[in-house]
Structure 1
Amino acid sequence: MAQGVKRVVLAFSGGLDTSVILKWLQQTYGCEVVTFTADLGQGEELEPARAKAQMMGVKPEHIFIDDLREEFVRDYVFPMMRANALYEGTYLLGTSIARPLIAKRQIEIAKMVGADAVSHGATGKGNDQVRFELGYYALEPDVKVIAPWREWDLTSRTKLIEFAEAHQIPVSKDKRGEAPFSTDANLLHTSSEGKVLEDPWDEVPDYVYSRTNHPEEGPDTPEYITIDFERGDGVALNGEGMSPATLLAKLNDLGKTHGIGRLDLVENRFVGMKSRGMYETPGGTIYHIAHRGIEQLTLDRGAAHLKDELAPRYAELIYNGLWFSPEREMLQAAIDHSQSHVTGTVRLKLYKGNAWVVGRKSPYSLYSEKVVTFEDDAGAYDQKDAEGFIKLNALRLRLLGRRQG
């Protein structure tokens, strides 16, 4: 039996893996286990997790099920969306952005209950082990981390089920045998990986999709919506004010109806391997497009282009688990400063898997119809000024051309 741990806080879903981990921790470390289940809007009933933890000997006062939906969207998703962050140009980081909040709450609970360790169910092949543990160490540098997948010999789903049955741990019928694929879900997205998705040449089967209707089967009539922004954050849908989590949930419903937000991606994991995943981010995709739409009116060219240069770096930091790093905080400060006038309304058209910006307006718009018009601008812009501008920019090119000639 391992020594040195008296009480551990486990990130607990109530599924097969974390249920086995709970029992394994009790046996291997002889410690008291405190369970923490986060409601991030994954759409699952969470009370069964409480019942299972109690059945496995966890004290009622040591079972934490916390509704973190508003905090998740307000303090994590929206700041990320201000940056227009896309990992490798396409992924809206739905799994990545949830991990720092879970880690933060785990450390808070550990301090509350006097735990000397924390534990998670991430495997040794994935990114999540890195994200969880970088979060833990940033917030509690001396905490002990227990990662069962890096310690035990339960190396397959068959062995997990055998362990569960040997210790009278209930196993859902759909978990008997190999699952066709694994999923992770929260209010921002659902991801699916493994098994039927492992060959990147094979098209994703229809049954894998859970958050979006098939785009081809969407309504035959486009739907128009508006999103209002204040200082870079969404505050209203179709003129109705909403909290961050409510707004994202409503956009999820719209995205599902119209089949918006599907992504089939082969990505580069932080741990070094490539993996193929299928992501569904219906509301987040609409929101991202709308946010870029309002920035088109309100951001100066220099600020907008600098943001586009910073966004890949910012996205990589989140993907790699460095939410609590000083460099992410520095980038966030610059990004948030850029949003001071990102206020206004965007109109979008939703239709069969796509969302388009079809209108935008803002009291802080930098767009001048008087200047840009092809008609008489009444002296707002002197076209003769362009000659000197062009010649100054061409000077070095002309000198180079003369030398080469």
Structure 2
Amino acid sequence: MKKEKVVLAFSGGLDTSFCAKYLTEDCGYELYTAIANTGGFSKEELKSIEERAYKLGATEHASLDITQEYYDKSIKYMIFGNVLRNGTYPISVSSERIFQAIAIINYAKKIGADYVAHGSTGAGNDQVRFDLTFQILAPEIKILTPTRDMTLTREYEIDYLKKHGYEADFKKMEYSINKGLWGTSIGGKETLKSNQTLPESAYPCQMIAKGEETLTIDFKEGEIAAVNGEKYDDKVAAIQAIEKITEKYAIGRDMHIGDTIIGIKGRVGFEAAAPMVIINAHKMLEKHTLTKWQQYWKDQIGTWYGMFLHEAQYLDPVMRDMEAFLQSSQQNVTGRVIIDLKPYRYILVGVESDFDLMKSDFGEYGEVNKAWTADDVKGFTKILGNQMKIYHSVLNKNKK
């Protein structure tokens, strides 16, 4: 009898290693494993994960590189929208999951899989992101989640793998680290408390820079065009170049406290040197090149866009509407931003742009006006205050 095919989203960690062995040994499925790389894995790491998959019984393993797609369909718009969840977190790892889920389910459809599986537990956001994406894009393919459904302990999974002849170093690391193109998340015992922070040693990138340096980022219609004067057509490479420069200053670190999709509060540390510098540099350029109301509505749209992306709503058509708005808003966001890098911090020095709205013939703030007279301002102020004057006049009459 022909075995049914299952595709497992495989990272090589304990949960997905257990799932791989369980799905082949106990369930008798023909196992296909796949990892969707969004820029967080080296060639050596991907090779190691592939070897692990075959040792666990995979018939075939696929490494799906979706880094460019992740930039084109997510990071670009997060930059346009200056997306920082709760004003703090550039939704580094959580924004990747939807695109990983899309890649996995497309691979499952390509090989004609009967099932798709993931190793998420029942306590986090990722289970929703994977399930929802799978259900929408391939409702005919059944979802298997052994770790969640069996409510397994770490000890049970390790013991199971040992009994089935699979040995690996599953010693629990003191810190859980997830690295990607758009930043790194860090979880540990401190993030489970409300009154503690991560120690210096928990961060993958240490402060090794000596002295200070100036970084320039050129934007063209909202996208990175050059770094320190070097032009980049490849936007992924541009982000990586900025990361290489900024990470040695140990900047972009913080603690994110947020509301999860499943309704509980969550806390995670992160370091995102390049994303934080890029977003804040981009926002500064926008302050000079966009009107007041463009900035206002971009803030609203950017906040909603980030929230929907975080909460697995990427496939809702309203996201395409928001992306169209964000794209349109970038027509004049072109220019250079100058940043001073210092240990553990950075300073946005200023901008140079042909679209700088401060460089106009109308006047200089606090200095001189060139487009109106003193009487014009007196009349404007009188009309501007009409509604407030009427309100207070009525209020005073009714107090008598």
Give the TM-score taking structure 1 as reference length: 0.91
The residue aligned with 1:292 is 283
The residue aligned with 2:307 is 316
1:249-277 Cα distance to aligned partner (Å, 9 max, x none):
12212221111110112221111111221
Give distance in 1, aligned partners of 2:334 and 2:3. 51
Shift of 1:196: 3.9
Once the two structures are superposed, the pairs formed by residues 3-18 of structure 1 within 5 Å of their partners are 6-18=4-16
* Residue among 375, 381, 390 paired with 2:372: 381
Once the two structures are superposed, the pairs formed by residues 182-201 of structure 1 within 5 Å of their partners are 182-201=176-195
Give distance in 1, aligned partners of 2:382 and 2:28. 78
Q: Is the CA contact (8 Å cut-off) linking 1:38 and 1:67 kept in structure 2?
A: yes
Mind listing any 5+ residue stretches in structure 2 that lack a counterpart? Answer: none
Give distance in 1, aligned partners of 2:240 and 2:58. 33
Once the two structures are superposed, the pairs formed by residues 49-64 of structure 1 within 5 Å of their partners are 49-59=49-59, 62-64=60-62
User: Structure 1's 153 and 359: CA in aligned 2 closer, same or farther, altered over 3 A?
Assistant: closer
**Letter in structure 1 aligned against 2:95:** I
Identity of aligned residues (%): 29
Once the two structures are superposed, the pairs formed by residues 58-97 of structure 1 within 5 Å of their partners are 58-59=58-59, 62-97=60-95
1:318-339 Cα distance to aligned partner (Å, 9 max, x none):
1101111112221111111111
1:370 match: secondary structure: coil
The residue aligned with 1:179 is 173
2:357 match: secondary structure: coil
The RMSD of aligned alpha carbons is 2.0
The residue aligned with 2:230 is 240
1:46 match: secondary structure: helix
Q: Is the CA contact (8 Å cut-off) linking 2:218 and 2:227 kept in structure 1?
A: yes
Give distance in 2, aligned partners of 1:57 and 1:164. 12
* Residue among 167, 185, 190 paired with 2:164: 167
Shift of 1:38: 2.3
Q: Is the CA contact (8 Å cut-off) linking 1:229 and 1:342 kept in structure 2?
A: yes
Q: Is the CA contact (8 Å cut-off) linking 1:297 and 1:361 kept in structure 2?
A: no
1:103 match: secondary structure: helix
Check if 1:204 corresponds to 2:198.
Answer: yes
Once the two structures are superposed, the pairs formed by residues 6-405 of structure 1 within 5 Å of their partners are 6-44=4-42, 45-59=45-59, 62-154=60-152, 156-172=153-169, 175-176=170-171, 178-210=172-204, 212-214=205-207, 218-219=209-210, 221-242=211-232, 243-373=234-364, 374-377=366-369, 379-405=370-396
**Letter in structure 2 aligned against 1:239:** G
User: Structure 1's 112 and 387: CA in aligned 2 closer, same or farther, altered over 3 A?
Assistant: same
Give distance in 2, aligned partners of 1:290 and 1:274. 30
Mind listing any 5+ residue stretches in structure 1 that lack a counterpart? Answer: none
1:29 match: secondary structure: coil
2:7 match: secondary structure: strand
Shift of 1:385: 2.1
2:361 match: secondary structure: helix
**Letter in structure 1 aligned against 2:230:** E
Q: Is the CA contact (8 Å cut-off) linking 1:96 and 1:321 kept in structure 2?
A: no
Give distance in 2, aligned partners of 1:307 and 1:52. 45
Give distance in 2, aligned partners of 1:337 and 1:376. 33
Give distance in 2, aligned partners of 1:168 and 1:386. 83
**Letter in structure 2 aligned against 1:160:** E
Shift of 1:191: 0.8
Give distance in 1, aligned partners of 2:84 and 2:173. 29
Q: Higher mean Cα deviation, 345-354 or 367-376?
A: 367-376
